Amino acid sequence: MIPWKNPDLPLDERVDDLVSRLTVSEKCAQLRWDAPAVERLGIPEYNWWNEALHGVGRNGRATVFPQAIGLASMWDASAVERIASAIADEARAKHHEAARRGSRQQYQGLTFWTPNINIFRDPRWGRGQETWGEDPVLAAELGAAFVRGLQGDDPKHLKTAACAKHYAVHSGPEAERHSFDACPTAKDFRETYLPAFKRLVDEGVESVMGAYNRVYGEPCCGSKLLLEDILRGEWGFAGHVVSDCWAVRDFHTTHGVTKTIEESAALALKNGCDLNCGSVYCDALEDALKLGLVTEADVDRSLRRLLRARFKLGMFDPPESVPYASIPMDVVHCEEHRRLAFDAAVDSFVLLKNKDGVLPLGGEVTNLLLTGPLATTVDPMLGNYFGMSPAISTVMEGLARHAPEGLRMDFRQGCLLDQPRPNKADWAGFEAVKSDVVICCVGLSPTLEGEEGDALQSPHQGDRVRVELLENQLGYLKNIASAIRERKASTKVVVLLFGGSAIAVPEIHEFADAVMQVWYPGEAGGDAIASVLFGKRAPGGRLPVTVPRSTEDLPPFDDYSMAGRTYRYMDDAKILYPFGFGLGYTNLRYSDIDIMETGAEIRVRATVSNAGERAGDEVAQLYVSGPDGAAGQPHCRLARFRRVHVPESGAVQVEWTLGAEDFAIIDDSGKRVQPGGEFILTVGGAAPLPSAAALGAPEPVSARVRREAVACG
Within-domain flag for 578: no
Residue 478 sits in a domain of what CATH number? 3.40.50.1700
At 544, the amino acid letter reads P
Within-domain flag for 580: no
Measured distance CA(666)–CA(287) in Å, rounded: 44
Within-domain flag for 308: yes
Q: What is the four-CA torsion angle of 561, 567, 568, 572, rounded to 10 degrees?
A: 100
Within-domain flag for 557: no
Whether residue 292 sits in one domain with residue 380 = no
As for how many domains the chain has, the answer is 3
Longest dimension (CA), the chain: 85
- The long-range contacts involving 10-16, CB below 8 angstroms and separated by at least 24 positions, are 11/308, 11/311, 11/312, 12/308, 14/311, 14/316, 15/304, 15/307, 15/308, 15/311, 16/304
- First CA to last CA across the chain, in angstroms? 49
Whether residue 197 sits in one domain with residue 64 = yes
Whether residue 298 sits in one domain with residue 235 = yes
3-state secondary structure of 672: strand
Whether residue 383 sits in one domain with residue 280 = no
The catalytically annotated residue of 76, 89, 244, 617 is 244
Give tens-digit pLDDT for 332-357: 999 999 999 999 999 999 999 999 99
Within-domain flag for 574: no
Last residue of a domain, one of 331, 366, 398: 331
How many other C-beta atoms are found inside a 10 Å radius of the C-beta of residue 117?
A: 30
What pLDDT does residue 666 have?
A: 96
Whether residue 91 sits in one domain with residue 7 = yes
Within-domain flag for 577: no
pTM: 0.98
Q: Which residues does residue 275 pair with via DSSP β-bridges, in sequence order?
A: 242
Within-domain flag for 338: no
Whether residue 357 sits in one domain with residue 303 = no
Whether residue 633 sits in one domain with residue 668 = yes
Q: Which residues does residue 161 pair with via DSSP β-bridges, in sequence order?
A: 111
Query: Could you confirm whether 244 is annotated as catalytic?
Result: yes
Residue closest to 215 by CA, chosen among 228, 224, 206: 224
Within-domain flag for 19: yes
Whether residue 358 sits in one domain with residue 253 = no
Residue closest to 86 by CA, chosen among 328, 331, 315, 346: 331
Measured distance CA(472)–CA(419) in Å, rounded: 6
Q: What is the domain extent for residue 141? A: 3-331
What pLDDT does residue 713 have?
A: 54
3-state secondary structure of 173: coil
Whether residue 160 sits in one domain with residue 225 = yes
Q: Which residues contact 7 (CB under 8 A, 6 or more apart)?
A: 317, 318, 321
Low-confidence ranges of the chain (pLDDT < 70): 712-713
Whether residue 695 sits in one domain with residue 628 = yes
Residue 610 sits in a domain of what CATH number? 2.60.40.10
Whether residue 515 sits in one domain with residue 642 = no
Whether residue 652 sits in one domain with residue 508 = no
**C-alpha angle 634/124/688, rounded to 5°?**
30
What pLDDT does residue 426 have?
A: 84
Last residue of a domain, one of 298, 331, 364: 331
Last residue of a domain, one of 331, 364, 392: 331
